[in-house]
Structure 1
Amino acid sequence: MLAFDKRRLAVAIVLGSLALGSALALAGVSAWLITRAWQMPPVLDLSVAVVAVRALGISRGVLGYCERLASHDTALRAAAGCRSEIYRRLAHGPAGITARLHSGDLLTRVGTDVDTLADVLVRALVPIGVAAILGAAATAVIAMISLTAAIVLVLCLLIAGALAPALATRAVHAQEAVARKRQSGRDVAAVTALEHADELRVAGRLPGLIAHAEQRQRDWGVAIDRAAAPAAAAAAVPTLASGASVIGAVIVGIGIAGHTAPTTLAVLMLLPLSAFEATLNLPGAAVALTRARIAAQRLTELVPAGSATHTVSLTNPDTTPELRASAVRAGYPGAAAGPPVTVTLQTGARLAITGRSGAGKTALLMTLAGLIPPADGRVTVGGVATSELSESELRSAICYFAEDAHLFSTTVRDNLLVARGDCSDEELTHALAAVGLNDWLDSLPDGLSTVLIGGAAAVSAGQRRRLLLARVMLCPAPVVLLDEPTEHLDAADGQRIMRALLDDRPGLLSPARTVVVATHQLGNDIACRRLSIGHYG
């Protein structure tokens, strides 16, 4: 799911290797310079080494900064591409995948989990690549001085670069999974408190929910600390291995001191210190890989690949197609399905689905719209099963308007153009007037260009409902499914709008369009076909 530019990543690894290579060379040149200066040669004999030390010290910082720029640029591009792919799959995939998830859990997955997945480039792949290159270079240099010291260095590098990360991975996997669940629970509680603060405050449950979110935050912190403990212990292994390598180099140096120049011995003893600099990040890289695997699994559960690959087309897309449900049992994934429903809606039909709250009206509407697969039975549009239509063709035929449809923090105009992008201002104004928002529009400082700061927070519940109804009017789909369109409106206005929606004479919607409304506020004086469903489960 995380697609990244391998060339950019390779550039980052090369820059990181050059940065730590400068540190490695700096250690070697400094060791030579110190021992050579002890021999008190002419000053000019040291001038090249002095300049090299300065150049290597500067280049290390510059190259390290360039590596940071390259690696973070690659990670940010990958994160942006990953989110785009997730949004594409969510838009074109079955809504049943996300219907069972709380918005707080969705926020965690699309936000934190994507960031965690992208972090693997900076915190894992680049350090691993740099450590491999630097370890090989240091071993090659040491081998030219002493093969025995090179073997000791390789063994210590393997302990620091392979054994320590493996131990860290094994130790933190369970704790990281628990920490991720705690974080998801915290976000669910926090988003619930934000989205339903008014209702919870009236019910006296807001303080308790906030306390619950705070407890989840503390639980998440404890889980993170527990997950960090094994990684911290594993981080000590490279330091111990570095010390063992230096001691080994000293012992080897003592053995070859009789026939080796002092400057060479100094290089032999100091070089391992810089060789292990890259391995210090490997336990952290192992933890980052573990977190990335957990995040990738959660994202794969959210948006499995190949969710919408159908190619069947409607035979006559220019007319309102027949919508038919044959013994359909609707229900959310993982929940009990409702009783079988059979209904046929010809062109221009009006249907009101009634039932008490929790009876399954919304689940049935989403099943008719092809957003949730039926637990049993078959839904067809123009004779073609909804599961066999491409996403674009299905949405061009049927449009579902949810009770909690989103208002964006942008202009009134843009919030309406969501339904149809080529509407003129006159059409938008007419739609707003038809749903009773003409006075509200006249009161706005910039009319249609007024920004609704905070989206739904900028309007009342009734105004929000009317704005969503205006979207319904502008939508070009011939079959329209509405969930509780008059919620939050006063009884008189609600009945007037309901009558205008379900009247087969010219009203809010053209008589040629098929309209299905799920409601529990249907007056007895509204003449339309009705479907009453019992409680699901």
Structure 2
Amino acid sequence: MSISEPVSSSRVASLQPAVWSLLQPRIPRLLLAVLFGTLALGSALALATVAAWLITRAWQMPPVLDLTVAVVAVRALGISRGVFSYCERLAIHDTALRAAGNTRVGLYRRLVDVPPETALRLHSGDLVARVGASVDDLADVLVRAILPMCVAAILSGAAVVIIALISPPAAAILAACLLVAGVAAPWLSGRAAAATEALAALHHSARDTASLLALEHAAELRVAGRLDPVIAEAVREHRDLGRAQDRAAAPAAAAGAVSTAAVGISVLGAVIVGIMIAGHTSPMSLAILMLVPLSAFEATAALPAAAAQLVRSRIAARRLTDLTAPAAPTRRRPETHRVSLSRGDRLAVVGPSGCGKTTMLMSIAAGYPESPLTAAFFAEDAHLFDTTVRDNLLVGRGDATQDQLTAALHDAGLGDWLAGLPDGLSTMLPGGAAAVSAGQRRRLLLARALVSDFPILLLDEPTEHLDAADSDRLLAELLTPGALLTADRTVVVATHHLPAGLDCPVIRLDP
């Protein structure tokens, strides 16, 4: 389906089964929300009907007791609308939030199962946009599209039936206008918004990618003199996103005008029919004929926005399914690069950036999912959390002692740094990686790996951003059994270079 394909209510059923399996909405709770929504707007429709009867009947000055039931009904309907609306919000937001959680968990599980080249082909900014905003857009289909569409369909039918009991011609006019407001206007809104919403989604991803690039690599970009252009690119992408969103809002405004015109035509038609049948119809019926259509269109007023949301959700669904789609075939590595490890092995994977070192490490990790040889992959861009030094190291091993944490920091070359901290291991790292230099960040990540107790350690560029002497020393100690790590642990290191004279098996990858 192209992104400019028209939108209709049947699109709900056309969402990909795989996406529905991720969303996993609670159908009983969704139906309960539809029931509450119908009762809320149904209370408004019944209120208009009863109020019209009460006003015209009171004009005839009957005994007060004749109006008592209607007065009580007006009060009850006014109160019940608020109660039912509140219950509807509770039910639908509970459903949508649980569905969003199910979707994210399902995506994480799929990303674990897909080949490394599939999981790593996207920049972290694009991953954030897809797992964040795209999941939210997908879950919003329940709140902003499916619910109002179901409620509008039920209430519109009820309104036409009520008017048909008074005047079939007026009911026919109302039905035609409801079709314009409830089908034609959303269809136009969705058709016009599809292309611009797709453009906005692309800008959203580009904006996140540019912003995260500036945040994650600010130090390196500043040294290279490229930080200001990268920040300018992020600002430009943000402005482009705003303009794209403005363009997406314009068709919705046009659809709103069509809906308003449909309301006016419906009321005008009711007036004309009322004049024609005034001679043989009670004043109460005429009042109902005029007021009920106004309440009926309250249900259809949200449908143009629902159609636009349906478009956004369909685009989000496609982005999420593409997230775990197989990557394009890449050049196959020689068979000699298939690695089989034994306890205590040391192996270096050497090559320039982009040659596939990280992919090889993740492939090795996937080959040892269970004990006794469980492999742990420590990425070069692993996250440092906005918490204490201790908590950042405990990510590697939750039951590590104070002495083990301190020893790991000393082994990674952070002994002097630790001694200078005001609270030692309890020192907070505000902003995570923003609180340390690039070299300190890399040493902290190495210390996290050293404190772990996994039988197989897969270290991706553990000495990047360190000076040559420290880098060579740490690489030699990591790849020498018994130096930093006990001889019975298996260590695989991906790096750009190796120190001279190191006796270690090596796999060299070409660019």
TM-score (norm 2): 0.87
Query: What secondary structure does 2:507 align onto?
Result: strand
How much does 1:279 deviate? Answer: 0.3
Contact between 1:354 and 1:533, CA under 8 Å: does it hold in 2? yes
Match of 2:433 among 456, 477, 493: 456
Match of 2:491 among 504, 515, 527: 515
Structure 2 equivalent of residue 489 of structure 1: 466
Check 1:151–1:357 CA distance in 2 against 1; reply closer, same or farther (3 A cut).
Answer: closer
What do you get for the CA RMSD once the two structures are aligned? 2.6
Structure 2 equivalent of residue 16 of structure 1: 37
Match of 2:134 among 89, 113, 131: 113
Contact between 2:386 and 2:431, CA under 8 Å: does it hold in 1? yes
Give CA deviations for 1:35-74 in whole Å, capped at 9, x if unaligned.
2222233344334433433333333233323323332232
Alignment partner of 1:165 is 2:142: no
1:366-377 residue pairs with structure 2 within 5 A?
A: 366-370=362-366
Mapped to 1, the partners of 2:237 and 2:445 lie a distance apart of: 35
Match of 2:314 among 286, 293, 302: 293
Alignment partner of 1:352 is 2:348: yes
Check 1:126–1:114 CA distance in 2 against 1; reply closer, same or farther (3 A cut).
Answer: same
Mapped to 1, the partners of 2:246 and 2:347 lie a distance apart of: 56
Contact between 2:116 and 2:363, CA under 8 Å: does it hold in 1? no
Contact between 1:419 and 1:472, CA under 8 Å: does it hold in 2? yes
Alignment partner of 1:532 is 2:508: yes
Query: What secondary structure does 1:353 align onto?
Result: strand
1:270-281 residue pairs with structure 2 within 5 A?
A: 270-281=291-302
Structure 2 equivalent of residue 402 of structure 1: 379
- Of residues 118-127 and 342-351 in structure 1, the stretch that sits farther from structure 2 once superposed is 342-351
Give CA deviations for 1:378-434 in whole Å, capped at 9, x if unaligned.
xxxxxxxx4xx7xx4399533222222222223333333333334344433333333
Structure 1 equivalent of residue 324 of structure 2: 303
Mapped to 2, the partners of 1:44 and 1:358 lie a distance apart of: 86
Mapped to 1, the partners of 2:467 and 2:200 lie a distance apart of: 46
How much does 1:496 deviate? Answer: 2.3
Mapped to 2, the partners of 1:87 and 1:359 lie a distance apart of: 26
Aligned AA (2:348): A
Structure 2 equivalent of residue 320 of structure 1: none
Contact between 1:411 and 1:449, CA under 8 Å: does it hold in 2? yes
Contact between 1:483 and 1:518, CA under 8 Å: does it hold in 2? yes
Give CA deviations for 1:431-477 in whole Å, capped at 9, x if unaligned.
33333334444544554444433222233333322222223234343
How much does 1:193 deviate? Answer: 1.4
Check 1:395–1:246 CA distance in 2 against 1; reply closer, same or farther (3 A cut).
Answer: farther
- Of residues 286-295 and 194-203 in structure 1, the stretch that sits farther from structure 2 once superposed is 194-203
1:193-208 residue pairs with structure 2 within 5 A?
A: 193-208=214-229
Query: What secondary structure does 2:302 align onto?
Result: helix
Contact between 2:116 and 2:359, CA under 8 Å: does it hold in 1? no
Contact between 2:170 and 2:270, CA under 8 Å: does it hold in 1? yes
Mapped to 2, the partners of 1:344 and 1:54 lie a distance apart of: 77
Aligned AA (1:354): V
Check 1:531–1:121 CA distance in 2 against 1; reply closer, same or farther (3 A cut).
Answer: closer
Alignment partner of 1:419 is 2:396: yes
Mapped to 1, the partners of 2:340 and 2:98 lie a distance apart of: 48
Aligned AA (2:248): A
Contact between 2:395 and 2:448, CA under 8 Å: does it hold in 1? yes
Mapped to 2, the partners of 1:468 and 1:198 lie a distance apart of: 17
Give CA deviations for 1:169-228 in whole Å, capped at 9, x if unaligned.
222212211111111111111111111222222333222222222222222222222222
Check 1:222–1:114 CA distance in 2 against 1; reply closer, same or farther (3 A cut).
Answer: same
Aligned AA (1:415): N
Mapped to 2, the partners of 1:231 and 1:395 lie a distance apart of: 59
Contact between 2:170 and 2:269, CA under 8 Å: does it hold in 1? yes
How much does 1:113 deviate? Answer: 0.8
Query: What secondary structure does 1:531 align onto?
Result: strand
Check 1:218–1:394 CA distance in 2 against 1; reply closer, same or farther (3 A cut).
Answer: farther
Q: Which runs of 5+ in 2 are unaligned?
A: 1-21
Query: What secondary structure does 2:370 align onto?
Result: helix
Aligned AA (1:70): A
What is the total number of aligned residue pairs between the two structures?
489
Aligned AA (2:378): F
How much does 1:358 deviate? Answer: 4.4
Aligned AA (1:350): R
Check 1:421–1:525 CA distance in 2 against 1; reply closer, same or farther (3 A cut).
Answer: same
Alignment partner of 1:284 is 2:261: no
Q: Which runs of 5+ in 1 are unaligned?
A: 308-331, 371-385
- Of residues 175-184 and 76-85 in structure 1, the stretch that sits farther from structure 2 once superposed is 76-85
Query: What secondary structure does 1:482 align onto?
Result: strand
Query: What secondary structure does 1:276 align onto?
Result: helix
Contact between 2:144 and 2:306, CA under 8 Å: does it hold in 1? yes
1:201-280 residue pairs with structure 2 within 5 A?
A: 201-280=222-301
Structure with the bigger RCO (C-alpha within 8 Å, sep 6+) is 2
Query: What secondary structure does 1:528 align onto?
Result: coil
Mapped to 2, the partners of 1:369 and 1:252 lie a distance apart of: 76
Mapped to 2, the partners of 1:124 and 1:356 lie a distance apart of: 49
Structure 2 equivalent of residue 379 of structure 1: none
Check 1:171–1:484 CA distance in 2 against 1; reply closer, same or farther (3 A cut).
Answer: same
Check 1:358–1:75 CA distance in 2 against 1; reply closer, same or farther (3 A cut).
Answer: closer
Query: What secondary structure does 1:393 align onto?
Result: coil
Structure 1 equivalent of residue 60 of structure 2: 39
Check 1:396–1:297 CA distance in 2 against 1; reply closer, same or farther (3 A cut).
Answer: farther
How much does 1:112 deviate? Answer: 0.9
- Of residues 467-476 and 444-453 in structure 1, the stretch that sits farther from structure 2 once superposed is 444-453
How much does 1:284 deviate? Answer: 0.8
Contact between 1:100 and 1:333, CA under 8 Å: does it hold in 2? no
Mapped to 2, the partners of 1:345 and 1:11 lie a distance apart of: 55
Identity of aligned residues (%): 61
Mapped to 2, the partners of 1:156 and 1:396 lie a distance apart of: 69
Mapped to 2, the partners of 1:119 and 1:475 lie a distance apart of: 41
Mapped to 2, the partners of 1:335 and 1:79 lie a distance apart of: 33
How much does 1:156 deviate? Answer: 2.2
Structure 2 equivalent of residue 28 of structure 1: 49
Structure 2 equivalent of residue 87 of structure 1: 108
Check 1:216–1:404 CA distance in 2 against 1; reply closer, same or farther (3 A cut).
Answer: same
Structure 2 equivalent of residue 376 of structure 1: none
Mapped to 2, the partners of 1:11 and 1:468 lie a distance apart of: 49
How much does 1:127 deviate? Answer: 0.6
How much does 1:485 deviate? Answer: 1.6
Structure 2 equivalent of residue 373 of structure 1: none
Check 1:178–1:482 CA distance in 2 against 1; reply closer, same or farther (3 A cut).
Answer: same
